[in-house]
Amino acid sequence: MDAFAHIWGPVRLTIELAGLTTLALLFVATPLAWWLARSRVWWKETAATVVSLPMVLPPTVLGFYLLIALGPSGPGGFIAGLWGARTLAFTFTGLVIASIISSMPFVVQPIRNAFAAIGDRPLEVAATLRASPTRAFWTVALPLASPGLLTGAVLGFAHTVGEFGVILMIGGNIPGRTRVLSTAIFDYVETMQWREANILAGGMVAFAFAVILSMMLIEKRFARMRG
């Protein structure tokens, strides 16, 4: 029973972190993806590249920069100062910020693809029916791109759950606040608590399987809808 309480803490925290991150990402990534799909400015691929960087960078690069940026000498320290703290490292807020940055490409990309796949035609038709661009976005583009949004949300959630390196570097391993699943497993393995490690790791495998399978099913349905 005690072991269960130990395990449940990190699991709950991970779900909270991934849920909040995904929600924030949908708000940030959707307009960004829309702009990337529709804009004709010459530097938009440069912007897309910047967004995609965390996909390629080792987590240690992000962890290093974030440790400095969230700390007392970076912007994070300034923000933390607003409520009398000194740093955003070791806080749940800090983890959310880190997760948003590192999971961003996994959300932006599918949504951008979905918007691009719609093409100009449906929006032109909407315009001839006197829909304003905003209305066309909400009533035409967004519903048509909803499979992409779903894919983005699932990937963003899953990637945040799987985040490890960055969190290890800026988390401080505080139970209930920054001790998430992946770092808890690391701890259990380091201290040879195989039973706990096994339960969590096994659960993660099942979770990952479910995520990827559902992704494929979404894709298939998306393809059928378009076909």
Site residues (CB under 8 A) for another protein?
A: 67-68, 70-73, 85-87, 89-90, 168-169, 172-174, 186-187, 189-192
Instruction: Let me know: does 220 contact 200? Beta carbons within 8 Å.
Output: no
Residue 103 CB, nearest approach to another protein (Å): 22
Query: Of 71 and 110, which has the nearer Cβ to another protein?
Result: 71
Query: Of 56 and 192, which has the nearer Cβ to another protein?
Result: 192
Which is nearest to 95 in space by CA: 73, 72, 62?
A: 62
Residue 203 CB, nearest approach to another protein (Å): 21
Query: Of 85 and 117, which has the nearer Cβ to another protein?
Result: 85
Residue 87 CB, nearest approach to another protein (Å): 5
Residue 125 CB, nearest approach to another protein (Å): 50
Residue 160 CB, nearest approach to another protein (Å): 20
Query: Of 94 and 105, which has the nearer Cβ to another protein?
Result: 94
Query: Of 23 and 85, which has the nearer Cβ to another protein?
Result: 85
